[in-house]
């Protein structure tokens, strides 16, 4: 965790409160893993912690802390990403197309794309049914 985060990392610019057990880089690594997995236990394991330890740390900071707000954002983005993936699979995207979408966007952006593609497919189906 000695690498500095990429400027494209969604949590790179956060002003996180450093803690002896939870330095800012460890917090960022946890948030990034949480964004990718949507699973607190899995994200905690990625930084060598338990879900209990990271939850206690979050509670200690309070619900309005930068870390707590970023945690909620990461969960929301992960949930949006999972929903978008289901929509895109149901919409008929093959594995290659889905991989390209995954490489291009994540979370809410992917959800917006999925909804737009679903709307386009539905409109095309209605037009075809009309003749």
| pTM (2 d.p.) | 0.73
Lowest mean pLDDT among 5-9, 86-90, 93-97: 5-9
What does the pLDDT read at residue 18? 87
Contacts 24+ apart (CB under 8 A), 20-26: 21/53, 21/57, 22/57, 25/1, 26/1
Higher pLDDT: 40 or 8? It is 40
Distant-in-sequence, close-in-space partners of 82: CB < 8 Å, separation ≥ 6: 38
CB of 46 within 8 A of CB of 29? yes
What does the pLDDT read at residue 112? 79
Closest CA to 86 of 73, 98, 100: 98
Q: What is the CB neighbour count within 10 angstroms for residue 102? A: 14
Quick: pLDDT tens for 56-88: 999 999 999 999 999 999 998 888 888 888 777
CA atoms within a 13 Å half-sphere pointing along the CA-CB vector of 74? 24
């Amino acid at each position: 965790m000695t690498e500095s985060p990429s400027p494209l990392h969604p949590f790179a610019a956060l002003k996180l409160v450093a803690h002896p057990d939870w330095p800012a880089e460890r917090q960022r690594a946890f948030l990034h893993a949480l964004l990718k997995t949507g699973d607190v236990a899995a994200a905690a394991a990625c930084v060598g912690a338990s879900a209990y330890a990271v939850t206690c740390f979050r509670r200690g900071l309070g619900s309005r802390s930068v870390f707590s707000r970023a945690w909620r954002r990461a969960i929301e983005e992960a949930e949006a990403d999972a929903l978008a993936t289901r929509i895109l699979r149901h919409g008929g995207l093959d594995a290659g197309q889905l991989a390209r979408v995954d490489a291009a966007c994540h979370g809410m952006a992917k959800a917006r794309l999925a909804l737009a593609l679903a709307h386009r497919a539905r409109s095309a189906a209605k037009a075809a049914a009309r003749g």
